[in-house]
Structure 1
Amino acid sequence: MSLQTVLVIDDERDIRELLTITLGRMDLQVEAVGTVAEARRALAERSFDLCFTDMRLPDGNGQEIIELIAENSPDTPVAMITAYGNVDAAVNALKAGAFDFVSKPVDIQMLRGLVRTALRLAEEKRDGAAAAKAGDSSERLIGDSPAMQQVRATIGKLARNQAPVYIAGESGVGKELVARLIHEQGPRASGPFVPVNCGAIPSELMESEFFGHRKGSFTGAGADKEGLFQAAQGGTLFLDEVAELPLHMQVKLLRAIQEKAVRPIGGRDEIPVDVRILSATHKNLGQLVEQGQFRQDLFYRINVIELRVPPLRERRGDVPQLAAFILKALAGKSGESIGQLSPAARDALEAYDFPGNVRELENILERAMAMCDGANIDAFDLMLPKRSMRSGSDAAASASGHDAAPAVAPSTTSANGGLDDYISNLERTAIVKALEESRYNKTAAARKLGITFRALRYKLKKLGID
């Protein structure tokens, strides 16, 4: 069996020798050169499984090498060797298509981890495993609209490198799902995927949560605890709602990302970490940078590549397919027959703007399944608010033979919290009375209330009646 080959391009003899020795001990065959011209000749003569290139070379720069390999050998991962702290060079390399970067002086442990990850990626591509995996996991990203086809294609490209990705999109569009797909389709799929909602961690606990702490480092620290970075070792750390990070934490996060190391609270030494950073927020990060609420240097570090996930109103043609998928999932959980949308209900959904996107569609269909008679969902069962319907949508709603849907869905969109509470209390009183009179026979109670059994079950769940 032939050894895997690595091309090293660096004009510093010490670096070439260090990489040659280190990689040789990993049973890799190394060819080391010092100029762009020598690299071009080597690449023309043979193929390589991995390439390391310095940024600055006597007759050019590493960017040329990255572009050359991307054009002629797109399956070959390229890692950029950069000067210590040269973040701009690293970011430019990742944007150009580099797999990852290594800072001088080279950390041998980090280097070995990078090599293993890169070679695993190259092997998956050759075996076709990555393509098969992409086909399986991307089925959860429902929709055949041009916008979603573009998102799937971009996910496939992003999965092949280690560049930090910023996922932009409104609430409910599925940003975490996109992050998971990038992780699952890449060489880190066997490692952990660690999602964290940055807005859900109290400010005073953030450093401990992200970096861990040592026993006795503060009151209540009764034992050593690893942080989120350590938990994501070898995998992906997904920073959801990253805009919620306070400024003091943004500084610490930037250092951890740049140095690829963390120092637990109370610890003396930094711990190397090998994680890929994906982040997301529904807010406009660029605007927050201008307002001084988000650090510009961190913004550029996590926003090497931006992937925008379109809102549901920009891909209305996907709504029927999404609805069918959700209804099938709901039926699977409840054990009941799959709900069927009437033509009028389908038209009403396609006409709706979905300010809450896919998450709102799930809630609407779950409510409709509870309120409809049998498994047939009509437009009236959807209870869509008029104010978020496009022109002509009322006609779609009335096509079912019912009046247009209520302007406000009782359980979610009332502008008056007091009225909501009042109505809920009336419902609760009536339901409890019906249950008591029917000796807690739910079928009989539903009949007494004049609603379906499914509707009663939905209301019991909504009102928290056990």
Structure 2
Amino acid sequence: MKTILVVDDQKNYLIVLEELLRGEGFEVVTKRSAAEAAEVCRRADVDLLLTDMRMAGMDGIQLLSEVLRIDPDLPVILMTAFATVEKAVEAMKKGAYDYILKPFRNEELLAAIRQAVQVRELRHEHRQLQKERASRAVFESQSPPMREAIRLAEQVAPSATTVLLSGESGTGKEILARALHAMSPRAERFFIPANCAAIPESLLETELFGHQKGAFTGAVAMRKGLFERADGGTLFLDEVSEMTPHLQAKVLRVLQEREFERVGGEQAIRVDVRIIAATNKDLRELVEAGRFREDLFYRLFVFHIHLPSLRERAEDILPLAGHFVRQFAAEMGKPIGGLTPEAQAALAAHRWPGNIRELRNAIERAVVLCAGRLIDERDLPGDVVRPAGGLPPAVDAGKRNGGTLAQVLEQYERQMIVQALARAGGVQARAARELGISRSNFQYRMTRLGLREPSGEGGDPQDRDPAPRDA
């Protein structure tokens, strides 16, 4: 049910509008001042604001500006009996969805409201689609650990099974959660993310479960929680390890019984929500330490997917960097075609403690600074160009993961080949000479490591080296 906030300093108008809109199936909140209406928008979920233009104190134009700072996508329809072209133009320039003259016909008002609510839903769906397209590009991988994570995701996506995603911060857990939602039968419904670490403990309960009007000081209207808003869709609980024991118990009940009560409410609300949880901590260790409920752990651990760090998927660094270059160059309208060999080498050699998020931020910064057609290493952050000492990422990852000598050497060999290709601008013969091996040996190693097709040159003809072949 959509919620409409109606604001007018004339009580009779509020009574008439509330009766009309409730009869059409809307939930209605009425206020007689703009200041009260702004407070409702801060504390409750509103799908549309219908406000009078002329009111004592803050007027409709001022209220429009205030609520769009709170929710930039909120459709606002202004009503007035004192129409002027100048006021109409001012309202539309400041972001109003529509402008209705008093007295109005009910059919005219209802048509404008339905259209505005539909536009809001379409904007949300468009943003979801953009994020899902971006996720597909991020998860195109040559890395065996990442390919395994993708395989598992594709298998579990069509079901309603609860999924637990683990991995370091910045490895793309929310992106994979969005991809799971997009590949599921719930794709037409909402994907709702909730960062349990970012929301203050005192607010997280009402954020997840909602509250009734009057449940506490400041609860000026009923507010649906994220579980309720995600009904029929997917709720992503990021950093689930940060929830208090009290909230862990409430989430466990939803997983077991598919119902809950709003804060201050007594009526059980049933929901059909798929839960995808994520953590960058070891939940088993937290269970053993008594900081995470064992029963909730097993409810979440139905299907586990671990995302490798970017250090563990070194062969994906340059393709990901290329994707981000294209994305940000298009957004900023800059004619940037790629990265210089020096920039590619710097990216390939960096350890990326912040993983994909750090790489994305580094490329965004580089696109901002780039004055030419190719990003150079001087456009990259200083810590990327001058990495700290230590083992090469592939070797370090292999040691930490307890890999055999053969596995560690294979990871390091793959990383050296990828970096040499980057420095050689993709020309295999030059990369082979740098590594001190023949071109045929170089190509054999690329094929064995899955970096090229078993037959053919691989790559575009223009990438081939015009210099004589190696012996």
User: Would the aligned equivalents of 1:214 and 1:267 in 2 still touch at CA under 8 Å?
Assistant: yes
* Worse overlay, 145-154 or 288-297: 145-154
Deviations 1:210-231 (A, max 9, x none): 1111111221111111111100
Residue matched to 1:264: 262
TM superposition shift of 1:309? 0.8
In structure 1, the gaps of 5 or more residues are 1-133, 401-466
User: Would the aligned equivalents of 1:211 and 1:230 in 2 still touch at CA under 8 Å?
Assistant: yes
Rounded Cα–Cα distance in structure 2 between residues aligned with 1:188 and 1:370: 37
User: Would the aligned equivalents of 1:137 and 1:181 in 2 still touch at CA under 8 Å?
Assistant: yes
Give, as a single letter, the amino acid of the residue that structure 2 aligns with 1:368.
Answer: A
TM superposition shift of 1:252? 1.3
Residue matched to 2:296: 298
1:386 and 2:384 aligned = no
Q: Rate the CA distance shift 1:390–1:346 in 2: closer, same or farther, 3 A.
A: farther
User: Would the aligned equivalents of 2:181 and 2:187 in 1 still touch at CA under 8 Å?
Assistant: yes
1:354 and 2:346 aligned = no
Q: Rate the CA distance shift 1:350–1:263 in 2: closer, same or farther, 3 A.
A: same
Among candidates 255, 271, 274, match of residue 272 of structure 2: 274
Residue matched to 2:250: 252
1:197 and 2:209 aligned = no
State how many pairs are aligned: 265
Residue matched to 1:217: 215
TM superposition shift of 1:135? 10
Deviations 1:316-335 (A, max 9, x none): 11111111100000101110
Rounded Cα–Cα distance in structure 1 between residues aligned with 2:189 and 2:149: 23
Residue matched to 1:375: 373
Deviations 1:160-192 (A, max 9, x none): 221111000111111001001111111111111
Residue matched to 1:100: none
Rounded Cα–Cα distance in structure 1 between residues aligned with 2:333 and 2:370: 16
TM superposition shift of 1:140? 4.4
TM superposition shift of 1:207? 2.0
Rounded Cα–Cα distance in structure 2 between residues aligned with 1:391 and 1:302: 35
Residue matched to 1:164: 162
Q: Rate the CA distance shift 1:390–1:374 in 2: closer, same or farther, 3 A.
A: farther
Rounded Cα–Cα distance in structure 2 between residues aligned with 1:222 and 1:136: 38
Q: TM-score, normalised by structure 1?
A: 0.53
Rounded Cα–Cα distance in structure 2 between residues aligned with 1:135 and 1:360: 20
Rounded Cα–Cα distance in structure 1 between residues aligned with 2:387 and 2:155: 40
In structure 2, the gaps of 5 or more residues are 1-131, 394-414, 425-471
Residue matched to 1:226: 224
Give, as a single letter, the amino acid of the residue that structure 1 aligns with 2:184.
Answer: G
Rounded Cα–Cα distance in structure 2 between residues aligned with 1:381 and 1:333: 18
TM superposition shift of 1:137? 6.5
Residue matched to 1:177: 175
1:166 is paired with a residue of what secondary structure? strand
User: Would the aligned equivalents of 1:369 and 1:377 in 2 still touch at CA under 8 Å?
Assistant: yes
Any residues of structure 2 matched to 1:445-456 within 5 Å, and which? none
Give, as a single letter, the amino acid of the residue that structure 2 aligns with 1:356.
Answer: G
User: Would the aligned equivalents of 1:191 and 1:235 in 2 still touch at CA under 8 Å?
Assistant: yes
TM superposition shift of 1:149? 2.2
Deviations 1:183-202 (A, max 9, x none): 11111111111000011222
Deviations 1:141-160 (A, max 9, x none): 23232223222211111112
Residue matched to 1:186: 184
Residue matched to 1:309: 307
* Worse overlay, 343-352 or 224-233: 343-352
Query: What's the C-alpha RMSD, in Å, of the aligned pairs?
Result: 2.6
Rounded Cα–Cα distance in structure 2 between residues aligned with 1:302 and 1:141: 23
TM superposition shift of 1:388? 6.0
2:291 is paired with a residue of what secondary structure? coil
List structure 1 runs of 4+ shifted beyond 3 angstroms.
134-140, 370-373, 388-393
1:323 and 2:327 aligned = no
User: Would the aligned equivalents of 2:238 and 2:279 in 1 still touch at CA under 8 Å?
Assistant: yes
Residue matched to 1:98: none
Q: Rate the CA distance shift 1:311–1:136 in 2: closer, same or farther, 3 A.
A: closer
Any residues of structure 2 matched to 1:414-433 within 5 Å, and which? none
Rounded Cα–Cα distance in structure 2 between residues aligned with 1:328 and 1:163: 35
User: Would the aligned equivalents of 2:213 and 2:222 in 1 still touch at CA under 8 Å?
Assistant: yes
1:386 is paired with a residue of what secondary structure? coil
